[in-house]
Amino acid sequence: MTMGALKLLFCTNPRNPLSWAIRACTWSNWSHVAIIDGEDVIEAVALRGVVCSKLSDRQRKDPHWRIVELTCANPIEVIEAARSQLGKPYDYTAVIGLGLHRVWKDADSWFCSELVAWSFDKVGAPLFRAETLHRVTPQHLWMLNPCNVAEVTA
């Protein structure tokens, strides 16, 4: 089996109060993560749900960002799984549940890191145990095995 790499975009905007709150609650330098598909990103965004956006637009919106390559046997399938969720709503209750240590996952909606972790899990390449997917934060994805993660310089 040939291994490939899937690119993830980690970002934050220090001027955005929501970004600051997410970083504070998750002990992370990053408030957002998205799957990169060429010049696009597939992401779950508050007020918009799961959308496909231009990578360059996201990088302009969040001035602090890094692109990371994650080793993956089937990156195209992970991207297709994420794309299958386009149009689904943002998972506000799960985000609140993270802060309150409650499982309030809405089965048909997503927040950013939950979407990324689910997409890997959906294609049989889990990054985390299935029962923890509703609690995955951008920081958890950032801290994956450093042997499998390499930063890409812009």
Report the side by side order of strands in the sheet with 32-37. 49-54, 40-45, 32-37, 4-12, 64-72, 149-152
Please give the pLDDT value at position 149: 47
Q: What CATH number has the domain bearing residue 128?
A: 3.90.1720.10
The predicted structure's pLDDT at residue 96: 61
Predicted confidence at residue 15, as pLDDT, reads 86
Residues 6+ apart with CB under 8 A from 19: 12, 13, 31, 32, 62
**Confidence (pLDDT) at 1:** 46
Q: Which domain holds residue 80?
A: 4-152
Report the number of distinct structural domains present in the chain: 1
Identify the pLDDT of residue 123.
93
* pLDDT number for residue 48: 93
Provide block-wise average pLDDT over 10 residues at a time, the chain (154 residues).
Answer: 81 85 82 96 94 95 90 93 96 65 66 92 88 80 65 47
| Contact present, 33 and 9 (Cβ < 8 Å) | yes
Q: What is the pTM of this model?
A: 0.85
